[in-house]
Amino acid sequence: MTIGKLRKNAWMTFVYILLLAGAAASLAPLYWLVRSSFMSLSQIFILPPKWIPSPFRWSNYTKAFSVVPFGRYYLNTALIVVGVVSGTVITSSLSAYAFARLCWRGRNVLFACLIASMMLPFAVTMIPLFVGWSRLGFANTYVPLILPAWFGGGAYNIFLLRQFYMTIPRELDESAFVDGAGYATIYRRILLPLTRPALIVVGMFSFMGCWNDFLGPLIYLSSSSLYTVSLGLRMFQGMYNAEWHLMMAASAVALMPVIVVFFIGQRYIIEGITLTGIKG
């Protein structure tokens, strides 16, 4: 009995050590970023390294904002994010309703096509899309970044929402149907409110995906006044590549919104990943 208990204690100690080491590995880089962003350049290089900045130098942030117009880039990115998130939530919800609840010719074929398209490397469609948007005169605008989100919001989101629809009892909409409600009413009055948690997940994933997107803006946006935060940060790196304290402050600026959104909605996000078994 005691030997068993001893072994169990040893095992649990091992488990905790593993978890704490993993947590430290996850958090240390972020902590190092924040720490360095409040230091002067000379303080950063002190050996052995200091873990807490003293004094706190907020001026790194004002400096970062003054050399690269991050305020402007925040607004630019926010504009794209609003367009993408609303398009994604609205159209993926409509499509998921059709796939989960309605019977129509070609449904299964289209659904299989959408699922298969998740495997397609973005590199395959990247060039023709770029050429197409350029021909239409939309290069260097936000149209190529926003408009596609209004066409179904991506196969992943449709799939996630469809999975969620499947968990809602069909009797609910069937009884409404018998009572004479039309499809639009059933969707709006019954399913839309019930799928709210899943819609929040879709909204958050698309917010984070859009805020973090690098390749899209990199390809389409050429004038620096249109840049997003990610592109601004990249530009900043080119200008100040040895001034680590400023680079870390600029990175923290780019990081802030996603961290805030994540902490507001992290419960939903974890549930969303668990529901589909796919990470965002």
Partner 1 sequence: MTVAGTKPQTRKAAYAARENWVGWLFALPAALGFLLFTLGPMVASLFYGFTDLTISGKWGFIGFENYARMFSGRDNYFYKALWMTTQYVLMSVPMKIIYAFLLAMALNQPVRGKSVFRTIFYLPTIVPTVAISMIWLWLLNPDFGLINQVLRGIGLNTKGLKWIYDKRSVIPSLSLMSMWTTGGITVVFLAGLQDVPKHLYEATSLDGGGAWARFRHVTLPMMSPTLFFNLCTTLIGSFQVFSEAYIMTNGGPDNASLFYVFYLYREAFSFTRMGSACAIAWVLFIIIMAVTMLVFKTSDLWVFYQAGEGGKA
**Residues 30-69, interacting with partner 1 (CB under 8 A):** 30, 32-33, 36, 44-45, 47-49
Question: Closer to partner 1 at the Cβ: 16 or 56?
Answer: 16
Q: Which of 4, 29, 169, 193: binder of partner 1 (CB under 8 A)?
A: 29
Angle at Cα 191 formed by Cα 86 and Cα 159, nearest 5°? 60
Q: Which of 6, 82, 172, 215: binder of partner 1 (CB under 8 A)?
A: 215
Q: Which of 64, 81, 114, 201: binder of partner 1 (CB under 8 A)?
A: 114
Sign (positive/negative) of CA torsion 78, 83, 85, 86?
A: positive
**Site for partner 1 contains 221 (CB under 8 A):** no
Question: Closer to partner 1 at the Cβ: 58 or 183?
Answer: 183
**Site for partner 1 contains 239 (CB under 8 A):** no
**Total residues found in the chain within this entry:** 280
C-alpha span between 195 and 213 (Å, rounded): 27
Distances (CA, A) of 124 to 14, 120, 188: 46, 7, 37
Nearest distance in Å: CB 225, partner 1: 19
**Site for partner 1 contains 222 (CB under 8 A):** no
- Name which of residues 1 to 20 contact partner 1 (CB under 8 A): 11-12, 15-16, 18-19
Q: Which of 6, 10, 75, 127: binder of partner 1 (CB under 8 A)?
A: 127
**Site for partner 1 contains 75 (CB under 8 A):** no
**Site for partner 1 contains 85 (CB under 8 A):** no
**Site for partner 1 contains 138 (CB under 8 A):** no
Q: Which of 125, 136, 166, 188: binder of partner 1 (CB under 8 A)?
A: 125
Question: Closer to partner 1 at the Cβ: 1 or 122?
Answer: 122
Please state, as a whole number, how many other Cβ atoms lie within 10 Å of the Cβ of residue 181.
Answer: 16
- Name which of residues 148 to 177 contact partner 1 (CB under 8 A): 148, 150-153, 158, 170, 173-174, 177
- Name which of residues 243 to 272 contact partner 1 (CB under 8 A): 244, 247-248, 250-251, 254-255, 258-259, 262, 266, 269-270
Nearest distance in Å: CB 9, partner 1: 13
The count of residues interacting with partner 1 (CB under 8 A) is 99
**Site for partner 1 contains 192 (CB under 8 A):** no
Stretch that binds partner 1, among 25-33, 56-64, 67-75, 190-198 (CB under 8 A): 25-33
